[in-house]
Amino acid sequence: MDELKQRILSEGQVLSDSILKVDSFLNHQIDPTLMHHIGQEFARRFSNEEITKVLTVESSGIAVALMTGLALKTPVIFAKKKKATTMDKDVYVGKIYSFTRREDVYIAVAKRYLSSEDKVLIVDDFLATGEAAQGMLQIVEQAGAKVVGVGIAIEKAFQKGGEILREKGIRLETLVQVTNLSHGQVEL
Amino acid sequence: MDELKQRILSEGQVLSDSILKVDSFLNHQIDPTLMHHIGQEFARRFSNEEITKVLTVESSGIAVALMTGLALKTPVIFAKKKKATTMDKDVYVGKIYSFTRREDVYIAVAKRYLSSEDKVLIVDDFLATGEAAQGMLQIVEQAGAKVVGVGIAIEKAFQKGGEILREKGIRLETLVQVTNLSHGQVEL
């Protein structure tokens, strides 16, 4: 997706060989028009699927999911991050290992919003190690729902998340693949 | 806003005399089309202002802010919740007292995304005690920017947040006012 590529190249900041900061348009300040186009692009790519719900995780996935749901005309669900101690039996729970926090984080979705009838598109702003996507897959699986695919705005193709999902046979659509950050600049 | 009123009356759950749960369409599962209309309504109400930025706080404000920014064609910023220990000098910080957590929560916006040139519309899904709105006002003030107003989807009119903002001379636009929850049902 050329519009997103150009924004990454002009505004992305390489903070380390694995960290790309795009908080001027994607996940702190957001460009709503760009996000609208991202949502429309996911809707176009998955237009052959009968999607009933778009699922993401708070906070930075919400904008991507909302615009995708707007284009697909489906409800959007954002999984909430929780401490394990605050769980109740009315939620599906996924476990994510957070490399930045160096601890497990739990994400939860109320059971009444996902059922075995649902065909779910998982979306997120970034894919790196694939932890968040796998946590969401756990939730969809607990609901007995079907995953139609995973849509990612920016995939760090030098990390293993994409490979893990493809090996599971999941349809993965990424709008931009970052292939290298190790020379202080973004390679796409 | 009649569409939002009808959704509150048909789907809202009264959990106590101060808690209204609307997580089937507003802040866990989201109806993107309803949210689109909410954003368009805020844009219409503030159409006489030259807004340069829409500001909210994660997570449940993001959808409201994104759709408002889409309609106004302005960038959206969501303040991030932080522990005070993780603050740095590159952010503006607002302090919010969380009645649910019974502790202070800090919200932060990177300085480079707000300047004294900005005319800021603050939006959020709910207004109750006004803590979140006041935290965002602190941030706008630190930036030396102008607040053009506050847009709220659902105001709990029996709590003091609305009064506090109006007494400060801030233009407050709420789409639906909830006047009472104390008899186990929603009064608008």
| Domain CATH code at residue A170 | 3.40.50.2020
Predicted confidence at residue A101, as pLDDT, reads: 80
Is A59–B80 a contact, with Cβ atoms under 8 angstroms apart? Answer: yes
Question: Quick check: is A170 in a domain?
Answer: yes
User: Largest Cα–Cα distance in chain B?
Assistant: 48
Task: Give residue-wise pLDDT tens across range A10-61.
Answer: 999 999 999 999 999 999 999 999 999 999 999 999 999 999 999 999 999 9
Which helix or strand (DSSP H or E) is residue B63 part of?
helix B62-72
For the CA atoms of A44, A46, A47, A51, what is the dihedral angle to 10 degrees? -130
Total domain count, chain B: 1
Judging contacts by C-beta atoms under 8 Å, the chain B residues touching residue A67 are 32, 66
Question: Quick check: is B135 in a domain?
Answer: yes
Question: Quick check: is B90 in a domain?
Answer: no
Question: Quick check: is A102 in a domain?
Answer: no
Question: Quick check: is B188 in a domain?
Answer: no
Nearest partner of B93 among B135, B61, B58, B65, judged by Cα: B135
Pick the residue from chain A with its C-alpha nearest to B33. Answer: A70
Is B70–A29 a contact, with Cβ atoms under 8 angstroms apart? Answer: no
Is A113–B62 a contact, with Cβ atoms under 8 angstroms apart? Answer: no
Per-residue confidence band for A86, with pLDDT thresholds at 50, 70 and 90:
low
Predicted confidence at residue A88, as pLDDT, reads: 76
Pick the residue from chain B with its C-alpha nearest to A32. Answer: B70
Q: Say yes or no: B75 contacts chain A, CB-CB below 8 A.
A: yes
Is A28–B113 a contact, with Cβ atoms under 8 angstroms apart? Answer: yes
Task: Give residue-wise pLDDT tens across range A119-167.
Answer: 999 999 999 999 999 999 999 999 999 999 999 999 999 999 999 999 9
- Mean pLDDT for back-to-back runs of 10 residues, chain B (188 residues): 98 95 97 98 97 97 98 98 80 91 93 98 98 98 98 98 97 98 94
Is the ipTM higher than 0.85? The answer is yes
Question: Quick check: is B98 in a domain?
Answer: no
User: What is the Cα gyration radius of chain A?
Assistant: 16
Helix (H, G, I), strand (E, B) or coil at B78: strand
> Which residues are paired to B108 by β-bridges?
B80, B93
Instruction: Measure Cα distances from B5 to A149, B15, B19, B40 in Å.
Output: 35, 18, 16, 16
Selecting from A24, A59, A75 the residue whose C-beta is nearest the C-beta of B31 gives: A75
What is the residue range of A163's domain? 2-80+116-178
Question: Quick check: is A111 in a domain?
Answer: no
Query: Quick check: B56 and B121 in contact, CB under 8 A?
Result: no
Q: Say yes or no: B15 contacts chain A, CB-CB below 8 A.
A: no
Is B70–A33 a contact, with Cβ atoms under 8 angstroms apart? Answer: yes
Question: Quick check: is B11 in a domain?
Answer: yes
Q: Say yes or no: B113 contacts chain A, CB-CB below 8 A.
A: yes
